Amino acid sequence: MDVEDTLLAGVKLITPRRFGDHRGFFSESYNRRALEAHGVDVEFVQDNHSVSQEIRTVRGLHFQAPPHAQWKLVRCGRGALFDVVVDIRQGSPTYGQWVGHELSFENGRQLLVPAGFAHGFMTLVPDTEIIYKCSDYYAPETEGALLWSDPDVGIDWPLAPEGAVLSQKDAIAPRLADLKTPFVQET
């Protein structure tokens, strides 16, 4: 398992090893001990799986507030997506900054998203599946969102945002300037 740091502290790009032959491949998509060896000690309690049928489907940018804040370990089961995280920890030196990586079935990459970051993605091909582990259970009363197209954040989406397929909730999420973040940078 290859684990790389990103420009946002705590956010990691993970590439599990694949062992292939004429039948296909085998990959260990999650190994707690391997992550602990890289300083990640998180217990995941829930797996989520969604399918987006249309290209340019945007889901996010979402988070859960304490006491049900979540870490996520995100991967693509089929297709391809551009996965994005934004630092929403008040007082963080990278507050409002983002990183994004393409996750696809072909590249097998995963993104580790700590609590304190808003998370979302854009599908790059039709019928894309996203599969992710969460460190806390879904708690709708703690849900929050950040506007995916906030010009102050300036996410450089790989496909033109015109024609993006959105939920109503995501279309009207607050901008960073209006977000009352429940997260504070830990020192």
| 62 is a catalytic site residue | yes
CB burial string 119-129: b at 16+ within 10 A, e below: bbbbbbeeebb
Q: At 102, which amino acid appears?
A: E
Phi, psi of 90 (to 5 degrees): -55, 135
Which member of 22, 30, 38, 132 is catalytic? 132
Report d(CA 185, CA 187) in Å as an integer: 6
**In contact, 62 and 144? CB cutoff 8 Å:** yes
Phi, psi of 77 (to 5 degrees): -85, -25
Which member of 49, 62, 95, 138 is catalytic? 62
| 132 is a catalytic site residue | yes
User: What radius of gyration do the chain's Cα atoms show?
Assistant: 16
Burial class (CB in 10 A: 0-12, 13-18, 19+), 28: exposed
Q: How many CA atoms lie within 13 A of 72 on its CB side?
A: 25
Give me the active site residues, please: 62, 132
